[in-house]
Structure 1
Amino acid sequence: MAFLSGAMWLAAILAGSAALAWAFRAALVALLPATAARVMRTAPLTASFGLVVILLYVVAAVFADLIAPFPERAVVGAEYLPWEGAHILGTDNLGRDMFSRLIYGARNTVGIAVATTALAFLLGSVLGLLAATVGGWLDQGLSRLVDVLMAIPALIFALLLLTIFGTSVVTLILVIAVIDATRVFRLARAVAQGIVVMDYIEAAKLRGERLPRLILREILPNAMAPLVAEFGLRFCFVFLSISALSFLGLGIQPPTADWGSMVRENATLITFGDVTPLLPAGAIALLTVAVNFVVDWMLHRASGLKE
């Protein structure tokens, strides 16, 4: 009976998610301009569901002060209160409202992940495109440096650097951005190397195009599709890295609400069969799946393949 009940709940969740994705896609088709509506009309339900989830997370992050019933750091009750009354998801180990902490966690965890990914992408893509275009000693020097950094396991490297330089938000962003920029560098360099040998690049060089214009006007537009897809995937890795570091105590520091640290702080409840610590973990997993759905759709469209 328990198995049947679980299967029924799963089927209901899947059906509800599909209905929500279909309704959201229909609304976008009706509201967007003709060109964008045509693109959305062909979007799979998985991509529509991903867009809905991402939109909900953005709204929660931007309007956290209006949505959350209690302040982020306020102690509003006893420890580990059950799901009832004013605290719909109970309270945590210090008596703070879990629902409010989850909402503010969207702003902190996702916001820092977006900033970190943007910095990693800016650093990695600029150096990768520059290395492929200039070549020679610059390409060899940057490539060997990246090889050395990538030879060290990313999580261990991040733990080491954060232990040395401290665990402030700025340090966290810089450390993870530098580590993940090596992966972006490899992709940008590989894509650009296939572009710089094309005839139109040679023609641009013969016209006397300078290096910045050559990269920005000729190479970057043709490398944009894989780089945009990589941005989504890289965001997932950065997001998970920040959550893992926070769970280990070297990421976003208390009392700031963060999903990784919330799992650690309330892990005791799992012993008693309480699923409250799994809520921030579920929020992490849901956003990761949603972003991957959208990235898969973007990669499919960029590939030019038909259904």
Structure 2
Amino acid sequence: MTAVLEPSSQTNLRQRLWRGLRSAPWTARLGMLVIVLYTLGAIFAPWLTPYGESQVVAQAFEPWGPQFLLGTDNLGRDMLTRLLYGGRNTIGIVALATCLAFLLGGAAGLLAAARGGWVDQILSRVVDVLMAIPQLIFALMLLTLFGTSIPTLIIIIAVLDSTRVFRLTRAVASNVAVMDFVEVARLRGEGNLWIMFREILPNIMAPLVAEFGLRFCFTFLFISALSFLGLGIQPPTADWGSMVRDNATLISYGDITPLLPAAAIALLTIGVNFVVDWFLHLTSGLRDDQ
């Protein structure tokens, strides 16, 4: 039977999460509402939009009105349509990149903590080399070399982000790997995969889940920045970062339309951080005496 670091906490984790959900602060509920609305908007974008993603429907920079609720962009495409499709595209790519980063970095971090020795040293030095290069510069260089297709973008961002995931996973897993129940599992003859995924991983899920939320935000901002610079999601695919760049000229005329995709990015980032803060507080065992 798999041992756990804190039996009582692990046994009652679901109950604590349910109680915490019912007593969640307004910030966490607001964050969850934002995440749900964004998710629904991304899923049902084709049914919520009156036009096609790249369809030119009017003259460039049409003002807000009954026909075009948020006006049109620099090519005459409906801004509301582009905004909804931009969320669908950006959130989907960010989710895939973040999951792949955790798959790579988490597995490598668990392996380094479970095996130690030369395996740990090699993986750690490779990660140190990758992290020594500024992430934005490294990404720009790789995207220039390998192209800016969506699969390439996801793989490059995932590999770069996996270094951060590796460092966190290795740090928290190393503390668990020296516990008595892990040594008992080794003496029983359990293999490394068993120790990694049955003994260590269940005891480090809380910080990893919190890091997933934060890493999602960082990746979201990073891909938006790349798109703003022209090396992220390529046109005619809608993306919030490129939408800010394409319509930035309207700011000179006092039009807030270019700020809408920027506000969408900021709102989702804040919402995810609210939920992450609540989850960290819930799993830390701290309580508010109010």
The amino acid across from 1:282 in the alignment is: A
Task: Pick from 244, 257, 282 the counterpart of residue 263 of structure 1.
Answer: 244
Distance in 2 between residues matched to 1:75 and 1:119, nearest whole Å: 35
Alignment partners' CA distance in 1, 2:172 and 2:16? 28
Paired residue total: 275
Matched residue, 2:141: 160
TM-score of the superposition, structure 2-length normalised? 0.93
CA distance in 1 between counterparts of 2:91 and 2:135 reads: 20
1:215 corresponds in structure 2 to 196
Q: 1:69 maps to what in 2?
A: 50
Match of 1:274 in 2: 255
Give the TM-score normalised by the residue count of structure 1: 0.88
Aligned mate of 2:61, from 51, 57, 80: 80
The answer to whether the Cα contact below 8 Å between 2:17 and 2:282 also exists between their aligned partners in 1 is: no
Q: Which of 254, 275, 279 is the matching residue for 1:294? A: 275
Structure 2 gaps of 5+ residues are 1-13
Alpha carbons of 1:204 and 1:36: their partners in 2 closer, same or farther (altered >3 Å)? closer
Distance in 2 between the 1:141 and 1:212 partners?
19
User: Higher relative CO (CA 8 A, sep ≥ 6), structure 1 or 2?
Assistant: 2
Deviations 1:184-219 (A, max 9, x none): 000000001000110000111111111111111100
CA–CA separation in structure 1 for the residues paired with 2:58 and 2:97: 35
Alpha-carbon distance in 1 for matches of 2:232, 2:209:
26
Corresponding letter in the other structure for 2:83: L
Give the structure 1 partner of residue 121 of structure 2: 140
Question: What amino acid is aligned across from residue 256 of structure 2 in structure 1?
Answer: V
Tell me which residue corresponds to 1:48.
29
What is the distance in 1 between the residues matched to 2:48 and 2:285? 41
Query: What fraction of aligned residue pairs are identical, expressed as a percent?
Result: 66
Contact 2:20 2:282 in 1 (8 A): no
Distance in 2 (alpha carbons) for counterparts of 1:173 and 1:297: 29
Structure 1 regions of 5+ residues with no counterpart? Answer: 1-32
In structure 2, distance between residues paired with 1:131 and 1:37: 34
SS of residue in 2 equivalent to 1:139? helix
In structure 1, what is the Cα distance between the partners aligned to 2:105 and 2:49?
Answer: 37
Residue by residue over 1:83-137, the C-alpha shift from the partner in whole angstroms, topping out at 9 and shown as x without a partner, is 1021000000000000000000111001000000000010000000100110111
RMSD of aligned residue pairs (Cα, Å)? 1.2
- Residues 74 and 152 of structure 1, relative CA distance in 2, 3 Å threshold: same
> Would you say the 8 A contact 2:112–2:123 is kept in 1?
yes
Q: Match for 1:207: what amino acid?
A: R
